Chains A and B, each alone.
Chain A
Amino acid sequence: MTNDIIERIKQNVIQGRMDKEDEGFNGGMVSQPGVKELVQQALDEGVDPRRIVVAGLTEAMKIVGDKFEAKEYFIPDMLASAETVGAAMDILAPYLAKSGVASKGKVLMATVKGDLHDIGKNIVTIILKGAGYEVKDLGADVGPEAIVASVREEKPDLLGLSALLTTTMVAMKETIDSLAQAGLRDRVKVIIGGAPTSVEFAAEIGADGYGADAFHAVRVVEELRQAS
């Protein structure tokens, strides 16, 4: 019974089916429960939330990753699956907290001041959520003061900054400097990304990491988490 529902969660994550309205891959799946309904059902049946995460969500994303590597899946597939995991994590969070499981980590994401480009940042957000992180998105064109305030309030483990313009890259440094001035710099790891940025630039402005794309971002965040 338990195995059965875990298996169904897994299959629906692989299919990227959010809820019962979702027609799935080839259509024709409307009205069958999707990830959201199945996760809730599993919790109602008393399935251990940790099992749902490990045996259901994580296992499923491994398979999705393999399919992507094998060029059977494309980025829209990855994102759809990651989105279902993100939604599942939202449902699971209170239950996990109750059973004393610490979240994998909390991440704040923002595109820096003066920069409106947010597609890349949004993708990173979805994929990080899909990898099991709790992610809060502050939006685009976010000034250092607002970021500092959010870090103070939300106490994230990690801050992700995005910039797509050579002219707004400098706002990343400003943001990091503002964190230091507010005495918050050592309480949060900072990772940056966006086309004009690089590992070298990250080192130059005192960031802790750089992600070239969303998948790389997950690996870097994972490394930083393990290091701390």
Chain B
Amino acid sequence: MPREGVLVHRIYERLDRDQVERIHSVSMEILRHPGIMCFNREAADIFASYGATVTAEPSARHWQVSIPEALVLQALKRAPQMVKLGARQEENSLILDGNEPRVYFASGSETNIWLDMRVETFVSKADHSVAVELATFHPRRGMLADLCAAARLGEHLDNLDGFIRPVNIQDEDITEENKDVNKFFACLNNMTKHVMAGLTSLDKLDKVIRMAEIIAGGKEELRRNPIISFITCVFKSPLQLVDDTTQKCIEIVRRGMPLVISASPQGGSTAPIKEDGMVAQINAEILGGIALSQLVSPGAPVIYGSVPTRAGLDDLADTYGVPEFNQYNVDCVQMARFYGLPCYSTAGVADVKVPGIQATVEKLFSHIVIALSGAQYIHYAFGLLDKTATFCPVQAVLDDAHIGMVKSLLRAPKVDEVEVVTSLEQIRQVMATSQKLFVRYIRPKLRSGEVTLPYPFEGDKARDEILLRAHEKMQELLQRPVEHIPPEVSERIFREVPGILPRLNTYREG
């Protein structure tokens, strides 16, 4: 049994059928003309061999590729509509079905800054007998130990369905050579949920897959239960197929591992700010990537990865807390559904650098809307602040509670013959009592989880103590044990997969 996530009963869509088809046609037009700038030779050759018009641009070291619609449609037919993301504990696996709006929430993505919170006491200048406890925030560089902590925390966040490393490991002894094996091992050894990540060096792909095979119990077992998956942002918007990530994409699908093929244009700077233009362009980019993957390896498990953002009007940086962000993303989910492909979408990033009111508003705004859209895999959903530059574990604990509320919100209504008869009976019974209170009927619903419990971080209501309570909760969760990779398996990984730092070895002497 995979994780439940939440199956959205009635999804929110913005586009009508005509508009969806119109955007599809424009995307096809874009792929034909101007087409894509391809910086990867192999990809250019593959496109050419399947009938695309490829023109070499010797001066600029790239190929201009004009992809006909028929090629894209042909390739899309091969892409699976259902992708399984496995897990060390198989009941934590996820089934992403392009034709079912079952929503999973995941973390992400490689921030550089880890934000610690401390509780400090401040005394009033006016009256020294008045003191309050407040949260203060302290940014620092993310380290390997932080990634381990984030994974442990993620294991215990009930609403975190999938894990993408939320922090970049910047220890002195982490190099391009050993980064991949360390980041995957740190995640896998500290949690039993699905682990997804981008790849730093292509030549480490087979080492990472080897690690996953050892954990899963062999090549075949890993195919059946892919405990890891990858993300490649193949396009640099607008419409430039990047050499490095494209090569990674080709190699990953060749090995049959699940892969998110994503694009992340910014409305106003690297894509039109207009909704239709933005969506048509990102759709063209993602479809271009997916087409390539299916030409390389028909049937390879790929996911439609849409990460559209909007340009900030003050600094042209990506912004997440604006309504347009939600519009772009909801439309992308709808486009993916049009093709029957599972969608990796985006929600829960705050533009502000610290937790608080602004962060909650910005995050919840997209958490609710994107979940309503029925995206299968919503990444960035936990702990992200500062436009994805910062990860704050206390914020992740808060986001988990809020996502739980969103999941409750989206539960399907129960209105059927049995339910209405029960309610009618309830009303008649209560009317016959002197108190006329329905309170006693709350209880069974409370115990079955159908009635939401009080907000977990509420204080005495006279003051907002949310951050203090969430901080306590985070400390408590980090104390809880996790199921590490068993000793024999761990030992085998350290033997067969070079480069993992000894300090990650749970069973090391001393």
Contact = CB atoms under 8 A, between A and B. Distances in A.
Given A76-B440, A79-B440, A80-B440, A126 B446 contact: no
Nearest to A16: B443
Given A122-B435, A125-B435, A126-B435, A25 B440 contact: no
B433 to A, nearest CB: 10
Contacts of A76: 439-440, 442-443, 446
Interface residues of B, number: 14
B447 A25 contact: yes
Interface in A149-184: none
B58 interface: no
Interface string A14-47: 0010000001011100000000000000000000
A79 B446 CA distance: 14
B434 A137 contact: yes
A154 B444 CA distance: 38
Contacts of B447: 25-26
Contact of B440 (A16, A27, A137): A16
Interface string A108-132: 0000000000010011011000000
B444 A83 contact: no
A76 B443 CA distance: 6
B437 A80 contact: no
A184 B190 CA distance: 73
Contacts of A80: 439-440, 443
A102 interface: no
Contact of B443 (A25, A119, A125): A25
B437 A27 contact: no
Nearest to A74: B446
Contacts of A23: 444
A123 B453 CA distance: 21
Contacts of A227: none
A76 B435 CA distance: 14
Contacts of B437: 79, 119, 122-123
Contacts of A123: 437
A23 B454 CA distance: 24
A75 B437 CA distance: 13
Contacts of B440: 16, 76, 79-80, 83
A181 to B, nearest CB: 30
Interface in B430-462: 434-437, 439-440, 442-444, 446-448, 453-454
A208 interface: no
Contacts of B443: 16, 25, 76-77, 80
Contacts of A126: 435
A24 B453 CA distance: 19
Nearest to A137: B434
A179 B176 CA distance: 88
Contacts of A125: 435
Contact of B444 (A25, A79, A119): A25
A23 B422 CA distance: 14
A75 B447 CA distance: 13
A74 B435 CA distance: 19
A111 to B, nearest CB: 12
Interface string A198-224: 000000000000000000000000000
Contacts of B434: 137
Contacts of A83: 440
A198 to B, nearest CB: 17
Contacts of A137: 434-435
Contacts of A77: 443, 446
Nearest to A25: B447
Nearest to A75: B439
Nearest to A126: B435
A133 to B, nearest CB: 16
Contacts of A119: 437
Contacts of B448: 26
Nearest to B456: A71
A137 B20 CA distance: 63
Nearest to A26: B447
B260 to A, nearest CB: 40
Contacts of A25: 443-444, 447
B75 to A, nearest CB: 52
A32 to B, nearest CB: 16
A119 B435 CA distance: 8
A82 B437 CA distance: 14
A150 B436 CA distance: 22
A89 B444 CA distance: 25
Nearest to A22: B440
Contacts of A122: 435-437
Contacts of A27: 444
B443 to A, nearest CB: 5
Interface string B307-325: 0000000000000000000
Nearest to B453: A74
B421 to A, nearest CB: 16
A128 to B, nearest CB: 13
B467 to A, nearest CB: 20
Contacts of B446: 74, 76-77
A121 to B, nearest CB: 9
A89 to B, nearest CB: 16
A12 to B, nearest CB: 14
A123 B448 CA distance: 24
B455 to A, nearest CB: 12
Interface string A83-101: 1000000000000000000
B459 to A, nearest CB: 13
Contacts of B454: 74
Interface string A58-81: 000000000000000011110110
9 contacts: A16-B443, A25-B444, A25-B447, A26-B447, A76-B442, A79-B437, A79-B440, A83-B440, A122-B436
Given A26-B444, A74-B446, A76-B446, 11 more contacts: A74-B442, A74-B453, A76-B440, A77-B443, A79-B439, A80-B440, A80-B443, A83-B440, A122-B436, A123-B437, A137-B435
Interface of A: 16, 23, 25-27, 74-77, 79-80, 83, 119, 122-123, 125-126, 137
- Top 4 nearest A-B pairs (CB, nearest first) are A76-B442, A122-B435, A76-B443, A79-B439
